[in-house]
């Protein structure tokens, strides 16, 4: 099937057209703030077998859909790589070419936690720099600047928004569309679903599972060092080399790794509001996915 073309102000999944896959390529597909960089780092450690990466993570593992970099230059950069390649996308798998030679990893996070993290990331983006890189138009100088809602009010609006999931991927419908599509493919041999909370609960075991699935050896002698390098604390400490700060779009790379904990979304809502959230989710995704995704929360 022809992949659906997703577009947003700073990304375009049409950039995948003409991309030349190689055997062993790894595509990391996630919604925003769901563990993208974490899985990129895990793959980097499994590929290079050392925490001392040869280049910043975003250079080794670029974001193909991002319109801030010329696509042909990006393809040339990836074509010159000689290691096993791995790259990220925020596009659902129905918008990405599915090549039998490639492996596809989808990372899922509790939607409320991802939404709260997305809210806070909004404060850390240099909007002027982002517009400069992507060619977006500047806001009307005569239009009054909008005051941002408090996080709890914003989260309630995010839950209630009835957006077209394919037009607004960072909405709750878009979030569920991304994961429901991956859930429908979970039995395919080259698709792996990984839960953010499994990474948090037992990173060693989950890295081992990813390594086995990819057919990569995780050397016993270096295992503890590699797992430690993939921990949230270590990655936050090395944020300058690991945050996806293409073109300097973040005001502070350290703030990209804010907390990484679970429960920040559910903690903001009342019992009644959580019931309303679950009702919305039930209309957007299959029961089996929601049971796996929510983990009793």
| Alpha helical stretches, state H, the chain | 36-48, 57-60, 71-80, 111-122, 127-134, 151-160, 172-183, 196-201, 203-214, 223-229, 232-237, 239-242, 271-284, 287-294
Place of tokens 């290691």: 83
Q: Of these residues, 55, 90, 120, 177, which one is catalytic?
A: 90
Beta bridge partners of 88: 28, 63
DSSP 8-state secondary structure symbol assigned to residue 16:
G
Place of tokens 């073309």: 5
Residue 90 annotated as catalytic: yes
Residue 95, CA distances (Å) to 13, 81, 178 in order? 7, 24, 10
Cα–Cα distance, 63 to 246 (Å, whole number): 9
Based on the number of CB atoms within 10 Å of its own CB, is 254 exposed (0-12), middle (13-18) or buried (19 or more)? middle
Cα–Cα distance, 237 to 232 (Å, whole number): 9
Catalytic residues: 90
């Amino acid at each position: 099937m022809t992949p659906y073309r997703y577009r947003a102000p700073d990304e375009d999944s049409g950039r995948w057209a003409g991309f030349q896959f190689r055997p062993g390529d790894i595509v990391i597909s996630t919604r925003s703030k769901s563990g993208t960089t974490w899985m990129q780092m895990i793959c980097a450690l499994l590929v290079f077998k050392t925490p001392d990466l040869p280049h910043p993570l975003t250079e080794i593992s670029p974001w193909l859909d991002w319109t801030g970099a010329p696509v042909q230059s990006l393809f040339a950069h990836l074509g010159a790589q000689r290691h096993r390649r791995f790259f990220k996308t925020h596009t659902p798998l129905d918008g990405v070419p599915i090549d039998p030679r490639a492996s596809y990893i989808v990372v899922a996070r509790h939607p409320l936690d991802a939404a709260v993290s997305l809210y806070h990331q909004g404060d850390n983006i240099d909007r002027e720099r982002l517009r400069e890189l992507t060619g977006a138009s500047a806001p009307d100088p005569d239009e009054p600047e909008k005051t941002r809602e408090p996080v709890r009010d914003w989260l309630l609006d995010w839950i209630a928004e009835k957006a077209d999931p394919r037009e607004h991927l960072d909405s709750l419908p878009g979030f569920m569309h991304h994961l429901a599509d991956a859930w429908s493919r979970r039995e395919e041999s080259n698709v792996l679903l990984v839960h953010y909370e499994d990474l948090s609960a037992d990173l060693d075991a989950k890295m081992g599972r990813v390594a086995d699935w990819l057919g990569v050896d995780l050397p016993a002698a270096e295992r503890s060092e590699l797992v430690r390098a993939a921990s949230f604390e270590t990655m936050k400490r090395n944020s300058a080399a690991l945050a996806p700060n293409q073109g300097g779009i973040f005001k502070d790379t350290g703030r990209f790794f804010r907390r990484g904990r679970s429960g920040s979304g559910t903690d903001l809502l009342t019992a009644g509001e959580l019931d309303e959230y679950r009702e919305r989710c039930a209309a957007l995704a299959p029961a089996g996915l929601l049971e796996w995704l929510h983990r009793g929360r």
